[in-house]
Chains A and B, each alone.
Chain A
Amino acid sequence: MAKFMTQEWGELYKEAINNNKAYEEAAKTWEGDFYFVMEPGGPVKEPFYTYIDLYHGKCRKIEIVTDPSKYKPEFVMSAPYPVWKRIATKELDPIKSMITRQAKLTGNMAKIMRYVKAANELTNSTTKVPTEWLD
């Protein structure tokens, strides 16, 4: 059990992604990194930045960073904690969260839309991580 969006949680999430065969297949040609930004809201007082580097069906690195200028990822997905929690528990579809502007994605949307299956598997992987929520 690890606290959501901590380095320990990140390591478990990385393991879950790397054990997900469906993700590996769907993302075999994917090259791109992300910041998942947890905006202040609810129990979260300061923004959290989780850097995720995904390459050819594997997760190469997950790092919680305090200084967002450390990386310049291709994509940034931002949402407040309650929205991330609903996405991570599959109560809320990530695409639906963007349509309703509960979450915001910056980066080349066209590229993401070619890997919808992989994006779905990334969400499936979060459900495999035993998570201690912040609220």
Chain B
Amino acid sequence: MWTFSCPFIAYGDNALEYIAQIQGKKAFIVTDKNIVKLGLVKLVTDQLDAVNIKWQIFDEVEPEPSLDTIKKGGVAVGGYQPDWVIGLGGGSCMDAAKAIIILLVRPDLEPDCIMASDTYNFRAKARLMAIPTTSGTGSEATSMIILTDTKEQRKISMMNLECMPDVAILDPVMVAGMPPQITADTGMDVLTHAIEGYVSTWGTSLTDGPGLIATRKVFEYLPKAYKNENDLEARKEMQNAAVLGGMSFGNSMAGLGHSTGHALGAIFHLPHGRTVGLFLPYTMEYLINGSEETTAKYAEIARYCGIASGSDKECAKALAAKILALAKEIGQPLSVKDCGIDKAKYEESIPGLIDRALNEAMTMTISRIPEGEDLEKIFKYAYEGKSIDF
């Protein structure tokens, strides 16, 4: 048995007006201070005011939310007892909302003990809405929660099918002014979700469709969104691509680009999309060198996107090259060195990077599972920007 889930999605111009149709009395908005400052929270609270739904804002979510922040949010949501919890922001805010809504019914729970197999039944108290302000994580369409254990400098990936939002609202006004750097970082995240979801050993034809379309949309619209923040068509298509990417990997699994990228991000505190996007072509090369099955899947993507024709290997390599070209076009780092990380510090961290990457579930859902030795080489090659030849 396997399952496919996704939220009800209101999208396009004026999608925020869908809020007028929800039933409820009190909404608890999980967001960050910057989103409040940008006036994006007000766009939502105006809609809530119009239908007499009271609201409270919890704006303490930081990038890569910590377990302590979730606990604080848990106390606040328990005090407010809402019937809606709204994750409003990037992936950090939406993931935080998913964890916080569980604490609404289980205030005793340590946030890193959220179990995939447990039933929390939080919908007896409140429903979950996600309103993304970036086009990247796809968290609005997944059951996944990524938190950070700041003491151990480790990302914690959790999942519970109940955490799929009831409603996701994709209104282009929420992403219209996104700066180029965030557009690029989050856009590379979409691409990584889409490609890794497509080639995951847990993938099926249900996850293939969203993965393929999301990939093609990213190649077409990410450069446009990056170069012109007011290109609303590009913004809308990237919003859709992010959701499709979420549906793809969220119903299959991400892969080695994520486990290596998570490890780098946890230790060197870099944005999630930038790190997973950086490792994507390297980890693809690793799979191309050792897995015919995945090479064939990459080739399917390349052909669908009109990137190459020819043998599977040629097409797969062309896809990896196209990703590097895209990264260059949108000012993303092509190597770990480009991230400004000191070589000595990086080499010192390699055992920790390997340990983290080896112990991610996503490392187990690819067709060529590396041992520590191969991971060490991948991390070293990626530092120098050297093509993977093993």
Contact = CB atoms under 8 A, between A and B. Distances in A.
Interface of A: 22, 25-26, 93, 95-96, 98-106, 108-110, 113-117, 120
Chain A interface main SS type? helix
Contacts of A117: 358-359, 363-364
Interface of B: 1-3, 110, 112-119, 149, 154, 156-159, 161, 202, 358-361, 363-365, 369, 371-372
A99 B115 contact: no
Contacts of A114: 154, 359
Nearest to B371: A22
B154 A95 contact: no
Nearest to B356: A114
Nearest to B259: A116
B113 A99 contact: no
Given A101-B117, A105-B115, A109-B115, A95 B361 contact: yes
A109 B202 contact: no
A105 B117 CA distance: 7
A116 B359 contact: yes
A89 B157 CA distance: 26
4 closest Cβ pairs, A-B complex = A110-B112, A98-B117, A98-B116, A104-B117
A96 B2 contact: yes
A113 B159 CA distance: 11
B359 A99 contact: no
Nearest to A105: B117
A116 B112 contact: no
Contacts of A103: 117
A116 B361 contact: yes
A120 B364 contact: yes
Given A109-B112, A115-B359, A100 B364 contact: no
Contacts of A99: 116-117, 159, 161
Contacts of A101: 117, 119, 161
Nearest to B160: A99
Question: Which residue, B3, B112, B117, B149, has most C-beta atoms of chain A within 10 A?
Answer: B117
A120 B360 CA distance: 11
Nearest to B143: A99
Contacts of A93: 202, 364-365
Contacts of B158: 109, 113
Highest count of chain B CB atoms <10 Å: which of A104, A108, A110: A110
Given A109-B158, A110-B110, A100 B1 contact: yes
Contacts of B1: 100, 102
Nearest to A102: B1
Contacts of A115: 359
13 contacts: A93-B202, A98-B116, A98-B117, A100-B1, A100-B3, A103-B117, A104-B117, A108-B113, A109-B115, A110-B112, A113-B158, A114-B359, A116-B359
B360 A116 contact: yes
Contacts of B359: 26, 113-117
A81 B110 CA distance: 31
A24 B252 CA distance: 29
